[in-house]
Amino acid sequence: MSHFGRSGPPDISDTYSLLVLNITFRTTADDLFPLFDKYGKVVDIFIPRDRRTGESRGFAFVRYKYADEAQKAVERLDGRVVDGREITVQFAKYGPNAERIQKGRVVETVPRSRHRSRSRSPRRRYRDDYRERDSRRRSRSRSRDRYRERDRDGRGRSRSPSASPNYSKGRGRDRYDDERRSRSRSVDSASPRRSRSPRRSRSPTRSPREDGSPDRRSHDRRSPTQSASPRGRPADSRSHSPRNSGVDE
DNA sequence: GTTGAGCGTT
């Protein structure tokens, strides 16, 4: 029986949940089962996976039947190197349904008024952005992220292209404006036009193919009635034929 | 092929 988590939660009446962190992304419940089962009776092992790719998130939940065994497993497997990585085994603090867990065991269902538990770190929920279904925003976000990364490096610190923006902007613009006004109007006219020339209608930071998102909602937004059917028999075209009723079809 | 703080499903 290695179908853990395939049939949902079996029974959390008297089970002690252990949280296993720092496991590899390839470690599965079947790999953890023999390890944890050696120290006690494991009733269920669940490893949260991603909805899109189905990869492990890096941690697992091991449910023991007895607290003493769970404790023993924690003491024994905590810090153990599994698959080349040191895992961290500890008692789970939260339950699947926001239940309060005491020593790894579900003791009470937290009412809707007690929400001060899950707010430990406002970091992003998951590594995947499948929760934020926004392509336009994501594109911009990514760009900014990249810039930030560069900034962190300290290499792209040239954020001052102009020695003195104030001087250049204020005085330069004033002078330019004065000169432009004093000079001629033809230049002013040709100025915006030339500027438009080199600017091509193209998005430099926009890529046609981003990630192969298979779950794209706009998979097929074609109208069922406007199908590209070769049978789009135009009435006006057939109009010139008086006897076309039942002849063609 | 990648990543690494954290708390969970039919």
Full DSSP string of A85-119: EE-EEEE--B-TTSEEEETTEEEEEPPTT--SSST
Give the Cα separation of A247 and A249 in Å (integer): 6
| Residue at token pair 């789009």 | A232
Taken in order A217, A219, A223, A224, the sign of the CA dihedral is negative
- Say how far A161 CA is from B10 C1', in Å: 58
- Cβ of residue A101 lies below 7 Å from strand B: yes
Q: Pairing between strand A60-64 and A42-46?
A: antiparallel
State whether the beta carbon of A28 lies below 7 angstroms from any atom of strand B: no
State whether the beta carbon of A70 lies below 7 angstroms from any atom of strand B. Answer: no
Residue A144 tokens, joined: 């900014």
Nucleic strand B within 7 A of Cβ A46: yes
Is the pLDDT confidence value at A180 over 70? no
From the CA of A9 to the C1' of B1: give the distance in Å. 34
Which letter does DSSP use for residue A34 in this model? Answer: H
A93 touches strand B (CB under 7 A): yes
Quick one: CA dihedral A157, A159, A162, A165, positive or negative?
negative
* CATH architecture, domain defined by A17-91: 2-Layer Sandwich (3.30)
Q: pLDDT tens across A61-110, in order?
A: 999 999 999 999 999 999 999 999 999 999 998 887 767 776 667 666 55
CA nearest to A17, candidates A85, A125, A99, A127: A99
* Residue A139 CB lies within 7 Å of the nucleic strand B: no
Q: State, as a whole number of angstroms, the distance between the CA of A151 and the C1' of B8.
A: 37
Q: Is the CB atom of residue A66 positioned under 7 angstroms from any atom of strand B?
A: no
Nearest to A82 by CA among A73, A92, A91: A73
Structure-block tokens of residue A109 = 């269902």
Where on strand B do bases come within 7 A of a protein Cβ?
A: 3-10
Please tell me whether any atom of strand B lies within 7 Å of the Cβ of A48.
yes
| Residue A15 confidence class, pLDDT cut points 50, 70, 90 | confident
Domain ranges of chain A: 17-91
Is residue A195's pLDDT more than 80?
no
DSSP annotation of A179: H
d(CA A104, CA A43): 14
Per-residue pLDDT, A41: 93
For residue A213, the 8-state DSSP code is: -
Between the alpha carbon of residue A173 and those of residues A67, A126, A164, A165, the distances in Å are 76, 48, 13, 11
Q: How confident is the model at residue A29 (pLDDT cuts 50, 70, 90)?
A: very high
What per-residue confidence (pLDDT) applies to A174? 40
Region for A187 from its dihedrals, namely left if φ exceeds 0, alpha if ψ lies in -120 to 50, beta otherwise: alpha
Q: What is the DSSP string of A135-148?
A: HHHHHHHHHHHHHH
| Count of C-beta atoms within a 10 Å radius of residue A70 | 28
pLDDT mean over A44-64: 91
CA distance linking residue A47 with residue A57, whole number of Å: 8
Of residues A108 and A247, more confidently modeled: A108
The nucleotide closest to A58 (CA, C1' atoms): B4
Percent of chain A with pLDDT over 90: 28
Residue A215: is its pLDDT beyond 70? no
Q: Which nucleotide has the least CA–C1' distance to A123?
A: B5
Output DSSP code: residue A170: I
Give residue-wise pLDDT tens across range A143-165: 343 334 344 433 333 333 433 33
Structure token digits, residue A107 = 């003791």
